[in-house]
């Protein structure tokens, strides 16, 4: 499993108390492409005002404009080959401050009160790990004061203030995490506006007749995120699940409903065998060949990789009759450079035959809470792939997911074959 | 006198106590052109490190890089015709954060410890006037802690945190004000690195053989700033004067000494009759013609202009035999639009003959503490102008300054004529 799914924000104090729950409050988050220029920022201002005019309390969380953060990173690289993490956070956190201040100006021109807050002013308290800090607490006093003044409150996403009073950034998926943590602390729903219309039964670029899901459970969404769906990162879904924050994923521009993510019990899931088919081409396969098959070898390998920060996903081990075993696993292609010297060393130490790498793989996954009670689902998926003439190289399953590694060149055919096989179930879910 | 000279920072608590005075500390300020790109920021980093390696404690104050602030202002104008002042400050204050964070990275790469602080983190407390806040206090605890860790401390200039805990910007000359207030609070000298080599006896672009002054008093520097020298704004010189901060103005790139600004008593000024000749082409002349000459008319005019925020400089009033008077004064050309409707109304109300405007004027001033005890200086200046065939339209004097308004087209000849007349005194001062 990817290590990132194991280290979600420790947020002991972000849950709102019962008194504030059920307040009519929404946190609306907009990503970088939704605020790419000043016209788009004015569009977002109007969206926030429209929500406010329905009587809800509104908090906006805007990412940095388009390529602002990339430009800041470029400056840092020109100055320093390895920028100091504390100063790097001081630098890259300004992008969100720009977009949120601009949006507050635009809202005031629409005749509403607004105020933009830095992560620090908004009480987003994090740990001290610069560049990938985790939220430990939301001190919502100032936020509530501003909301009590009938203001639309804008909060710079992706950043906070550490327990050492330093500016920190939250790393990948940080703005979503900010939005969900705020919704939790303030007692409201969280709407994530993005460049897709919601969560689909498969990537619509690969499967043109994929269906948009009206509802999905946190657990299914976590599995879909972990297996390649790029709508949201597992990190913020996990916070929402832990604190029961209703999530709504929708297109930034457009008026249709997107996908609601919530508790399984709150959804009508009896027929929901399948949520969707996901795929992921970002991983590579590595195999240590003919390792002497003795206790502790696997532990040795995966401890060394974990210590180097390499995220391992699927693992298979096949023992042979000769007393050796092949250990095969997948890892992000971006981690290959870090993993290679470790694996070469381990192969020598364990007297293995060698290590081979294969970046030309893809993973196809089928996700659905209903498969728990339908034991035939995995077999159906394997059959669909076999009928399409696609070879399965590795299989891994959880209680609500089946994943198969195939050749990268065959991934789109694989997704379409599996989706076609489970299309009926998906249609029942969307319409039922 | 310009109104800006009357509202200097109220800085009751920035003066360091006796204990910290005399610490070996320097605050080094670098303007926008000195940090225009990443290479220049690396050059500034080296300058700061070189100062640190002489054993001094070093605080750097960097302005925003080149046109960063202009770009932020452009974004604000695209979003809002009149950006809300509080949000405007949230926006434009990020420029200094970028340059200072980059410089801290560069210093660390040179093997020294460094930390960049926002105005707020550095304890720069201001009043609540967004866009042109004044510093009311420097809470130096964090600064001293960082200095005690042997760090070079970088402080974002031009910004602070208000007594309402909002981000404020300090307006024009704000970064210099930050640097001088820090030097005062921490008990050290302040070095202003700029694009000129120091304070000259006249603008070297107009008078090629103008001389660089090694030393000048606060009072003379204030008069020079108020009469057109663009080296530093009166604002920060006034803070330095009030708290006795030694100022050193020098070129950002280059190794020669610039000009030291300090107490008159601490300088060898016996022979220092003349500091320099300054000129200013930014003002216009306005005259209200044939106003009935009765008590209270001048008060009426200048109260109305002051209430509209118009900065009046020189004023002359000539009564005629017919019981009327002409009131003539100079004001910044940029204030003309605000002044015109007020003057038209006042002319009607007072039954004056009318108002005439003349933007084609320039002011030439001669500044020098020594002229207090040399009564012939003003007459010498008028003679020099007369010999050059230049007509004087308005005269105004202070104890250490004589200013004459002339035609704008004649200003360079006027500066050269006056400078030539007083060249001997200036040379005595530079060499003596």
- The answer to whether residue A5 scores a pLDDT higher than 50 is no
Distance between CA atoms of B204 and B279, rounded to whole angstroms?
A: 12
> Edge to edge, what strands does the sheet with B276-280 contain?
B276-280, B361-367, B401-407, B394-398
b/e map of A203-237 (b: 16 or more CB within 10 Å)?
beebbeebbbbbbbbbbbbbbbbbbbbebbbbbbb
* Chain centroid offset of residue B43 CA: 26
In a domain, A28, yes or no: yes
CB B158 within 8 A of CB B93: yes
Judge contact between A266 and A336, C-beta under 8 A: no
Distance between start and end Cα atoms, chain A: 33
A4-22 per-residue burial string, b: 16 or more CB within 10 A, e: under 16: bbeebbebeebbbeeeeee
A-interface mutation test, from B36, B39, B91, B97, most A Cβ less than 10 A away:
B91
Question: What are the Cα distances from residue A177, in Å, to A44, A61, A128, A286?
Answer: 19, 10, 16, 32
pLDDT per residue rounded down to tens, chain B (432 residues): 333 322 335 443 344 444 444 469 999 999 988 999 999 999 999 999 999 999 999 999 999 998 899 999 999 999 999 999 999 999 999 999 999 999 999 999 999 999 999 999 999 999 999 998 999 999 999 999 999 999 999 999 999 999 999 999 998 889 999 999 999 999 999 999 988 899 999 999 999 989 999 989 998 899 888 888 888 888 899 899 989 999 999 998 778 899 999 987 555 444 456 889 999 999 999 999 988 877 778 888 888 888 888 888 888 777 677 788 888 899 999 999 999 999 999 999 999 999 999 999 999 999 987 777 676 788 888 889 989 999 888 888 777 888 899 999 999 999 999 999 888 677 777 776
Question: What DSSP element (H or E) covers B346?
Answer: helix B336-349
Whether B234 is covered by a domain: the verdict is no
pTM over 0.90: no
For residue A211, give the H/E element and its range. Answer: none
Q: Which of B75, B102, B105 sits opposite A102 (nearest CB)?
A: B75
Task: Give the mean pLDDT of A99-121.
Answer: 96
Instruction: State which H helix or E strand residue A65 sits in.
Output: none
Per-residue tokens: A314: 């699927």
Q: Higher confidence at residue A272 or residue A326? A: A326
**H-helix or E-strand containing A142?**
helix A141-148
**Residue B420 vs residues B120, B143, B278, B388, B401: alpha-carbon distances, Å:** 49, 48, 13, 11, 17
Closest chain A residue by Cα to residue B43? A79
**The two three-digit tokens of residue A426, written as one number:** 């998906």
Going across the sheet that includes B247-251, the strands are B114-117, B152-156, B57-62, B25-30, B189-194, B247-251, B259-262, B215-217
* Minimal Cβ distance to A105: which of B87, B109, B116: B87
Contacts of B123 in chain A (CB under 8 A): none
Q: Is the pLDDT of residue A269 over 50?
A: no
CA–CA gap between residue B69 and residue B244 (Å, rounded): 31
Of A38-52, A345-359, B15-29, B384-398, which range is least confident? Answer: B15-29
Q: From CA B65, how far away is CA B35, in angstroms rounded?
A: 5
Cα→Cα distances A168→A93, A160, A163, B105, B240, Å = 8, 5, 10, 16, 35
Instruction: Name the band, by pLDDT with cuts 50, 70 and 90, for residue A270.
Output: very low
* Per-position b or e across A92-120, b if 16+ CB within 10 A of its CB: bbbbbbbbbbbbbbbbbbbebebbbbbbb
- Which residues are bridge partners to A137 per DSSP? A125
Our count of domains for chain A comes to 1
Give CA–CA dist A61/A146, Å, rounded.
15
Q: With an 8 Å Cβ cutoff, are B104 and A97 in contact?
A: no
- Residues of B with Cβ-Cβ distance to A106 under 8 angstroms: 79-80
Complete edge-to-edge strand list for the sheet that includes strand B324-332 = B315-319, B324-332, B283-292, B354-358
Residue B392 in any domain: the answer is: no
Contact (CB<8Å) B79/A106 = yes
Environment class of residue A382 by beta-carbon count within 10 Å: exposed (0-12), middle (13-18) or buried (19+)? middle
Residue A91 with chain B: CB contacts under 8 Å:
97-98, 101-102, 105
Report pLDDT for A123: 95
User: What backbone phi and psi angles, to 5 degrees, belong to B87?
Assistant: -70, -35
Query: Which residues, 6+ apart, have CB-to-CB distance to B71 below 8 Å?
Result: none
Residue A375: pLDDT band with limits 50, 70, 90: low
In whole angstroms, give the CA distance from residue B69 to residue A10. Answer: 38
pLDDT given for residue A314 in this prediction = 84
Q: Which residues on chain A place their C-beta less than 8 Å from a C-beta of chain B?
A: 38, 41-42, 72, 75-76, 78-81, 83-84, 86-88, 90-91, 94, 97-98, 100-106, 108-109, 114-116, 118, 121, 165
Query: Which tens digit of pLDDT belongs to each residue from A407-430?
Result: 999 999 999 999 998 886 777 777
pLDDT of residue A272: 53
User: Quick check: helix, strand or coil at residue B378?
Assistant: helix
The answer to whether the beta carbons of residues B339 and B387 sit under 8 Å apart is: no
Tell me, yes or no, whether A44 lies in a domain: yes
Query: Higher-confidence residue: A152 or A290?
Result: A152
Distance CA A67, CA A75 (A): 13
- Kindly list the residues from chain B whose CB atom is less than 8 angstroms away from the CB atom of residue A86: 115
Please determine, for residue A11, whether its predicted confidence score (pLDDT) is greater than 50.
Answer: no
Q: What tokens does A107 get?
A: 């809202």
Evaluate whether residue A203 is within a structural domain. no
Identify the pLDDT of residue B424: 67
* Distance in angstroms (rounded) separating the CA atoms of residues A129 and A203: 34
Alpha carbon dihedral A145, A147, A152, A153, in 10-degree steps, equals: 50
The count of C-alpha atoms lying within 13 angstroms of the C-alpha of B183, restricted to the half-sphere facing its C-beta, is 30
The CB-side HSE value for B231 (13 A sphere, CA atoms) comes to: 37
From CA A179, how far away is CA A292, in angstroms rounded?
50
Of A38, A83, A91, which has the smallest distance from its Cβ to B75's Cβ? A38
Give A178-217 pLDDT, tens digit per residue: 999 999 999 999 999 988 899 999 999 999 989 999 989 9
Residues 6+ positions from B53 with CB-CB distance below 8 Å: none
Q: How far apart are CA A27 and CA A188, in angstroms?
A: 7
CA-nearest residue to A103 within chain B is B79
DSSP type of residue B5: G
Conformation bin of residue A228: beta by default, left when phi > 0, alpha when psi is -120 to 50: left
A162 vs B contacts (CB less than 8 Å): none
CATH assignment of the domain containing B154: 3.40.1160.10
Residue A255: pLDDT band with limits 50, 70, 90: confident
Interface of B to A at Cβ within 8 Å reads: 38, 41-42, 72, 75-76, 78-81, 83-84, 86-88, 90-91, 94, 97-98, 100-106, 108-109, 114-116, 118, 121, 165
Confidence band (pLDDT; 50, 70, 90) for A9? low
Structural domain contains residue A166:
yes
Residue given tokens 């909060």 in the structure block = A155
DSSP character at residue A307 = H
pLDDT band, very low/low/confident/very high, at A306 (cuts 50, 70, 90): confident
Contact B87 A81 (CB under 8 A): no
Pinpoint the alpha helices (H) of B138-259: 141-148, 174-186, 218-226, 234-243
pLDDT of residue B268: 47
Residues β-bridged to residue A285:
A330, A358
B79-94 burial, b if ≥16 CB within 10 A, otherwise e?
bbeebbbbbbbbbbbb
Question: What Cα–Cα distance (Å) separates residue A267 from each residue in A374, A399, A413, A430, B237?
Answer: 19, 19, 32, 12, 69
Residue B253 CA to chain centroid, in angstroms? 21
Q: Is residue A431 a part of any domain in this protein?
A: no
Buried b (16+ CB within 10 A) or exposed e, A40-52: bbbbbbebbbebb
Q: What is the largest CA-CA distance in chain A?
A: 78
User: Residues of B with CB below 8 A from A103's CB?
Assistant: 79
For B88, phi then psi, to 5°, come to -60, -40
Interface contact B91-A79, CB threshold 8 A: no
- Contacts of residue A112, defined as CB under 8 A and 6 or more positions apart, other chains included, come to A49, A52, A151, A152
B28: closest CA among B64, B60, B63, B62? B60
Residue A154 placed within a domain: yes
Long-range contacts of A374-380 (CB under 8 A, 24+ apart): A374/A273, A377/A273, A377/A274, A377/A402, A378/A402, A380/A421, A380/A422
HSE on the CB side for A347, CA within 13 Å? 19
pLDDT of B23 reads 61
B97 vs B92: CA distance, rounded Å = 10
Name the residue among A42, A91, A102 with its Cβ closest to that of B101. Answer: A91
Q: What is the mean predicted confidence (pLDDT) over A315-344? A: 86
pLDDT at B9: 55
Write out the DSSP string of B307-323. HTT-----EEEEE-TTS
To the nearest whole angstrom, how far is the Cα of A38 from the nearest Cα of chain B?
6
Query: How many whole angstroms separate alpha carbon B61 and alpha carbon B417?
Result: 39
Instruction: Look up the domain containing B183 and give its range.
Output: 3-195
pLDDT at B310: 85
């Amino acid at each position: 499993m990817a290590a990132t799914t194991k280290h979600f924000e420790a947020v002991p104090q972000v849950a709102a108390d019962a008194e504030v729950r059920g307040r009519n409050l929404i946190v609306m988050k907009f990503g970088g492409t939704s605020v790419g220029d000043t016209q788009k920022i004015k569009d977002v201002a109007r969206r926030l005002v429209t929500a406010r005019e329905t009587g809800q309390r509104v908090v906006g969380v805007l990412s940095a404009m388009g390529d602002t953060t990339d430009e800041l990173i470029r400056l840092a690289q020109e100055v320093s080959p390895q920028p100091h993490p504390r100063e790097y956070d001081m630098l890259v956190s300004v992008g969100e401050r720009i977009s949120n201040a601009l949006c507050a100006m635009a809202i005031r021109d629409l005749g509403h009160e607004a105020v933009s807050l830095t992560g620090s002013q908004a009480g987003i308290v994090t740990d001290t790990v610069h560049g990938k800090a985790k939220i430990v607490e939301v001190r919502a006093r100032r936020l509530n004061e501003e909301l009590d003044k009938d203001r639309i409150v804008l909060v710079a996403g992706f950043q906070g203030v550490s327990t050492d009073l330093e500016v920190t950034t939250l790393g990948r998926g940080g703005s979503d995490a900010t939005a969900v943590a705020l919704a939790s602390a303030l007692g409201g729903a969280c709407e994530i506006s993005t460049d897709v219309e919601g969560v689909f039964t498969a990537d619509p670029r690969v499967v043109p007749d994929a269906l948009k899901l009206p509802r999905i459970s946190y657990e299914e969404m976590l599995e879909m995120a972990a297996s390649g769906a790029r709508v949201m990162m597992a990190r913020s879904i996990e916070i929402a699940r832990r604190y029961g924050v209703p999530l709504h994923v929708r297109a930034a521009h457009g008026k249709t409903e997107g996908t609601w993510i919530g508790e399984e019990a709150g959804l009508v899931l009896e027929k929901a065998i399948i949520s969707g088919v996901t795929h992921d081409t970002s991983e590579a396969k590595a195999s240590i060949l003919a390792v002497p098959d003795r206790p502790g070898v696997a532990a040795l390998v995966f401890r060394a990789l974990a210590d180097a920060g390499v995220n391992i996903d699927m693992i298979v081990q096949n023992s042979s009759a000769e007393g050796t075993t092949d250990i095969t696993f997948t890892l992000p292609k971006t981690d290959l450079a870090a993993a290679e010297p470790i694996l070469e060393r381990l192969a020598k130490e364990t007297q293995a035959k060698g290590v081979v790498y294969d970046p030309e793989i893809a993973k196809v996954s089928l996700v659905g809470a209903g498969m728990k009670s339908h034991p035939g689902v995995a077999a159906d998926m394997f059959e669909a792939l076999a009928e399409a003439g696609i070879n399965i190289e590795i299989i891994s399953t959880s209680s609500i997911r089946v994943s198969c590694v195939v050749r990268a060149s065959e991934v789109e055919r694989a997704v379409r074959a599996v989706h076609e096989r489970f299309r009926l179930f998906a249609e029942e879910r969307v319409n039922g």
